[in-house]
Structure formats: C-alpha cells, structure tokens
Amino acid sequence: MAELSVKFAGLTLKNPVVTVSGTCGFGEEYAPFYKASELGAIAVKGMTLAPRDGNPPPRIAETPAGILNSIGLQNPGADAFIERELPRLKAEGATVIANISGSTIADYCKVAEKLSETDVDFIEMNISCPNVKEGGVAFGTNAKTIHEITSSVKAHSKKPLIVKLSPNVTDITEMARAAEAGGADALSLINTLLGMRIDLRTRRPILHNNVGGLSGPAVFPVALRMVWQVRNAVKLPLIGMGGIASASDAIEMLIAGADIIGVGTAMFANPYLPLEIIEGLNAYLDENGIGSVSELSATVKPW
C-alpha cells in the first residue's frame, strides 16, 4: 500500500482527507459512521468570540448540482467549543482544525489567542464568509486587508495559521500572495461562491439573507482552477476544497496543486465519502506505482 501520511504546515496527518468547516458540525453528527480520528483532520464549525444565532430562515436553497446556504455563522461561541466539544474530539484522537471568524480584526485576534492555549492543532481563519453582512466579506476581497488581518492574527496565534480564501475576487493569486506576505502558514481554498435563488410565486429571494454561499459539485471546476493558479503563485501548503464529490475529484485536486483536500457538501448525500476517497486514493497510487501521496501533489502537466 502507498504511503498516505502527509506533512502539512509542520504537522503530520495520517492521510490527506479533511472535512470542510461548516459541513460536519463538531464531528458528532458523523460519529455513527466513523471516528474523526480516521481522517487526516476535522475542520469544525466556524467559531466567533461570543455565541451567534445566525441568520433568520430560510437559510438553505437547492441549486443544480449544489446548495446555497446563509447560515450566518450560527455557533455556540469559542468558550463552549473549548469546554464541551474539543475534549471529546481529542479523546477520539482527532486532529482538529479550529475555524474562526469575527466582525473586527480584534475579534479574530481574541479568538485565536484563546484557542492557542488549547490543544487544537490548527487555526483556520475564515476571512471570506459571503453570507454575513459584516466581517468576512470585507476582509477576504481586499489584498491590503488580508495582509493586515493575517499579520495581526498570526501575532496572537501559537498554532499554525491557515487562511481561507474567497473565490469572489478578480485575482485569487493576489489574495494568496497577501496572506503569504502576512505570515500565513497555509491556505485553504475555495470558500463558497456568492449566489442567489428567487421564489417565482412571491418574487422574493428564497434565502432570507437574499444571497448565500454556493457549494457542491457545481463549483468544482472553479475551485480546481484557483488551486492550480495559487499553487503557481505561492509556496505555502494548500488545502484544496470546493465541490469534491468522489475519489477522482480528490485526485484531480491533488494533481492541480493541493497538498491535502477538504470534503464538505457531498457528505450530506454520502457520509461515507471521506473513507471512500481514502480507499480510492490508495488504489490510484498503487495502480500507478506512486509510493506516496505527497508525490502526486502539483504534478499537472499544462499544455
């Protein structure tokens, strides 16, 4: 069997498959199917300093080959995560990516500082949430602001800092370079694309927030293209995510330039998908005589 363990931002993961924040809660929902420790890491639901109720419903709308969501960062707050959820995850042997968000740079710094004193393994900074009316959108679409928030939070984080990039920009490589210059230890991309659906009977947007984040198989080609572009622009390790729904998708994402891959929306339809990807990846490596998954990353051959 091929070697599936991979080094990422200074730590070794048992395999390159991680969950995407916001799609698996704090892992408990998937406990009937497998242990969180079977995956490379679990990225938990995004946390803010104080609890948030999120946006009013409706908050989910179906789209062709995907869904729109405007959950609005509903979460119990960082303290509740530290007290209730993190001990359970670590007792299971999980590698934990703590996703954080906020309305101001100071908010991000405070959450990062608080989590740095725990045994989370990584901190992932969501600067690009398109379904809240403050915070993330402004940070994630401006290179100068990305540099500022990254350097500020990095100064308060004792854990490897992953910056999650927004696809709702004109040049993803400019944003990636800004995060790298700000001191990011790794990047994750892409977050959801901004989208909208309208109810023909009422002529109102289906989502109460009017717009939301599009995820699912429909966004995969966009995510793949952006990971490839960013791989050629920065030297940071990358988590490639966005629409991965099969082992083949995951392998494509690795070949495009990701070091590890994130699985999200597709797990709603198939909770076993992360395990299937691990199995499929191992089979592909063996069939092609590749000894380690790390040898597969960034091996695309452009015309």
Residues recognised as catalytic = 129
The closest alpha carbon to 39, from 236, 261, 223, 251, belongs to 261
Kindly give, in sequence order, each residue whose CB lies less than 8 Å from that of residue 205, ignoring residues fewer than 6 positions away: 196, 197, 198, 199, 211
For residue 97, give the 3-state DSSP assignment: strand
Strand, helix or coil for residue 292: strand
- The answer to whether the beta carbons of residues 89 and 8 sit under 8 Å apart is no
CB atoms within 10 A of CB 5: 14
The helix-helix angle for 273-287 and 247-256 (nearest 10°) equals 60
Q: Is 290 in contact with 251 (CB distance < 8 Å)?
A: no
Alpha helices by DSSP H, listed for the chain, are: 78-80, 86-91, 105-116, 136-140, 143-154, 172-181, 220-231, 247-256, 273-287
Contact 141, 128 (CB under 8 A): yes
CA distance 277 to 289: 18
